[in-house]
Structures are given as C-alpha cells and as structure tokens.
C-alpha cells in the first residue's frame, strides 16, 4: 500500500526543502511511505518558475506566485505536512537583528494560519541561528509558544543543525523546528550527524564529478583586473584581511571587517556559508582559480543536483541558491519524519535547544 503524505510550503524559494521532501521514500512491511507536492507559494517570480520546473513540472497549478499577505488560504488544498522557512532577514546575526520589529519578523505568523486552518499532521519551520537572540531571545520564545499552541497543539523539537555534519559541503548553521500534532502522540527525534569526523570538502563537492562546461547556471562572472590581481595574493582559506596585500590592493574599510570578503575556499574543508546577496567580495572565491564561483558551483555546495535548473538573471539565481535549504539536509529531516510516522527507529541525538528557554543551553 502506498501511504502518500501531501506537502505544502510557504516562502518556498527555488525548492530546497521540497526537493528533499519529494526525494524521500520509506518501505516498511510492504507499505511505501512518500511525500508529494500539493502546493507551494512565494512572491518571487523567478523562484516560482524554478520551483515549478524542477519540483512539479507536470502539476504546476498550485505553485502560486503571490505576496503572502494577499494569499487566499482557503483556496489551497488540504495537506498532511507543512513547511516554511519564513524570511530570516530580521533575525540574521549578520543583519541588525530587528526581530519582530522588522518588516519580515512577523511573516512567521502566516504559517500559524495554515496550522490553525489545516491542522496538518506535521510541520517543519526553518530559520537562521540568529533567531534565538533576536529581541533578546523574546522572539524565539514567542514563536515556540505560538507554534506549540497552533491547531490542536504540536509537540515541537527545535535543534541547531550544522549542515556540514550531515553531508553538506558547507558550514551552514540553521534552526529547524519539527512539530507533530499532539493528537498523534508522536515526537520527532533529531537525526544523528553523519559526517562530523569526515566532512565533505569544497573541492570534492565541486570537482567530483567534474561539472560539464555547458552545465546550466555555470556561466563565469567577469572579474576586473584589480580583483584578479588581489586574488593572486590571497591563499586558500584566507580573506583580504588575512592576506599580505600590497597597499594599492587593500580595501579602505574602517568599519566592520566581515570575514567572508574576498575569501577563498579552503579546498580541504567545507565551504563557508553561501549567501544570497552582497556586493563586491562576497561572491565566494575559488580555492585555486582567480575568480568567483559560478552559480552551478554554489549550487553544488548547497547539494542541488546539476540537472536542477535555476531560472532568472545571474544575480537572481545567486539569491535563490543562497537563500535555499540544502536539499541533502532537508532529505535527512524528512526521512526522519517518515520514520517517526511509520514507527521505524533511527539513530538520534538529544536536541541542543531547550524549548523552555530562549537561548541555547550551550553555544
């Protein structure tokens, strides 16, 4: 028997979470457990096109490109699993950490509308690790309370996941909250990391196997002569502040010196965090060639397969890749969700976030 769990997502972006979900399958006692697309929404047209063509190319009716504030929730099909990586701009440790006081902070509440109206069996909510400290920790505590009390109530497990410990060739740390309806009696368990001792390196991800030159989204960025000259002095793993640069190549910056500015990848370590925006010096730089990575190489570091085609301009594609959840990490989460539903045990660890506190028990 096929046990199919219908999946819906707000703020879907290009589909990192969804790709992990739909690739997940589980066999138990002759039954097949799977997750299938029901609907997804985002306000960005390029992201919606990317999502539609890669996640549900034969069923794009319910990929809705619309501002969430204008969305008619009653028009969406019923779902069993709900997911959303609510926009994190106001919670990011890189930004001003405005939390609820920022323009994006309250967007998580639209997920509450879904939980209250559809009461799905399970939900997944993702955000940056700066969420715990926004508004002095008040925002995170409020979000947990609201999610727990949504619908008929949810048993929630929150955890800070380090993507490099789950086979992703990138140091990317994100909070993921998984909730099961209290009426189900189910509790999620944090899957045990698999690559703590042997993380996947940036070089291995980019070169194994080699990327075809005509692969989609693989156009190189034209570098100025000054950038090329500057990179010649920067060793793998170094940034422009570490390197011994000639005076004419140094940056005239007196304020905060972000560590990722003109930083080359270390070929033997996971990449630093791939971001979706930023000016000169933030494009992620190759470990041996004097250039920024292509979008296809960035997508490799995010664990998107090479046949996953992103739509839009080069900068739009960069943003989509940088804002996405790595599909490999997402698949591990959804595999654990299906195992929880099916009653299949799996290796797990204790969550590193205490739901009763607004800050990590240890950092």
Residue 56: both structure tokens together: 């549900």
Strand, coil or helix: what is 13? coil
Other CB atoms within a 10 A radius of the CB of residue 34 amount to: 17
Domain around 154: 2-194+326-349
- HSE-CB of 221 using CA atoms within 13 angstroms: 27
Does residue 276 form part of some domain? no
Cα–Cα distance measured from residue 213 to residue 215, given in angstroms and rounded to the nearest whole number: 6
Establish if 354 belongs to a structural domain. no
- With respect to residue 89, please indicate whether it lies within any of the assigned structural domains: yes
330 lies in some domain = yes
Q: Give the CATH number, domain containing residue 91.
A: 3.40.50.150
* Residues ≥6 apart with Cβ < 8 Å to 61: none
pLDDT for res 106: 64
Residue 288 in any domain: the answer is: no
Count of domains forming the chain: 1
182 lies in a domain? Answer: yes
Residue 289 · residue 206 · CB < 8 Å: no
Q: Quick one: pLDDT band at residue 104, thresholds 50, 70, 90? A: very low
> Which sequence positions are flagged as catalytic?
88
Residue position matching structure tokens 């199919």: 4
Q: What is the mean pLDDT of residues 167-181?
A: 97
Look at 363 and 308; give whichever has higher pLDDT. Answer: 308
End-to-end CA distance of the chain: 44
**Residue 356 pLDDT:** 53
**Residues with Cβ < 8 Å from 30, sequence gap 6 or more?**
1
Distance CA 78, CA 166 (A): 31
In a domain, 229, yes or no: no
Total-model pTM: 0.92
State the DSSP code for 193. Answer: P
Q: What is the pLDDT of residue 141?
A: 84
Q: Is residue 47 part of a domain?
A: yes
pLDDT digits (tens, 9 = 90+) for 5-50: 999 999 999 999 999 999 999 999 999 999 999 999 999 999 999 9
Calculate mean pLDDT across residues 69-89.
88
């Amino acid at each position: 028997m096929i046990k199919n769990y219908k999946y819906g997502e707000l703020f879907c972006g290009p589909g990192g979470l969804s790709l992990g979900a739909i690739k997940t399958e589980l066999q138990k006692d002759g039954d097949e457990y799977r997750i299938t697309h029901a609907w997804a929404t985002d306000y960005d047209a390029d992201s919606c096109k990317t999502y539609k063509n890669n996640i549900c190319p034969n069923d794009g009716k319910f990929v809705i490109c619309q501002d969430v504030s204008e969305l008619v929730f009653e028009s969406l099909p019923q779902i069993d699993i709900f997911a959303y990586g609510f926009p994190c701009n106001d919670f990011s440790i890189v930004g001003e950490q405005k939390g609820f006081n920022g323009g994006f902070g309250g967007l998580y509440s639209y997920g509450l509308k879904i939980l209250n109206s559809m009461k799905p069996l399970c939900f997944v909510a993702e955000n940056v690790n700066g969420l715990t400290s926004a508004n002095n920790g008040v925002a995170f505590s409020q979000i947990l309370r609201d999610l727990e009390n949504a619908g008929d109530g949810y048993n929630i497990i929150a955890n800070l996941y380090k993507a490099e410990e789950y086979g992703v060739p990138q140091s990317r740390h994100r909070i993921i909250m998984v909730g099961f309806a209290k009426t189900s009696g189910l509790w999620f368990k944090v899957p045990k990391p698999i690559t703590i001792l042997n993380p996947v390196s940036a070089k291995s991800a980019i070169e194994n196997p080699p990327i075809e030159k005509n692969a989609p989204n693989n156009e190189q960025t034209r570098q100025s002569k000054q950038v090329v000259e500057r990179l010649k002095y920067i060793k793998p793993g170094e940034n422009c502040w570490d390197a011994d640069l000639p005076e004419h190549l140094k940056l005239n910056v007196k304020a905060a010196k972000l560590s990722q500015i003109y930083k080359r990848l270390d070929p033997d370590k996971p990449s630093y965090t791939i971001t979706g925006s930023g000016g000169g010096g933030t494009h992620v730089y190759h470990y041996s060639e004097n250039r920024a990575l292509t979008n296809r190489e960035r997508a490799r570091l995010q664990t998107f397969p090479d046949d996953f085609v992103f739509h839009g301009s080069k900068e739009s594609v960069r943003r989509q890749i940088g804002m996405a959840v790595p599909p490999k990490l997402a698949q591990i989460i959804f595999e654990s969700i299906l195992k929880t539903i099916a009653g299949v045990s799996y290796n797990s660890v204790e969550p590193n976030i205490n739901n009763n506190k607004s800050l990590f028990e240890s950092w």
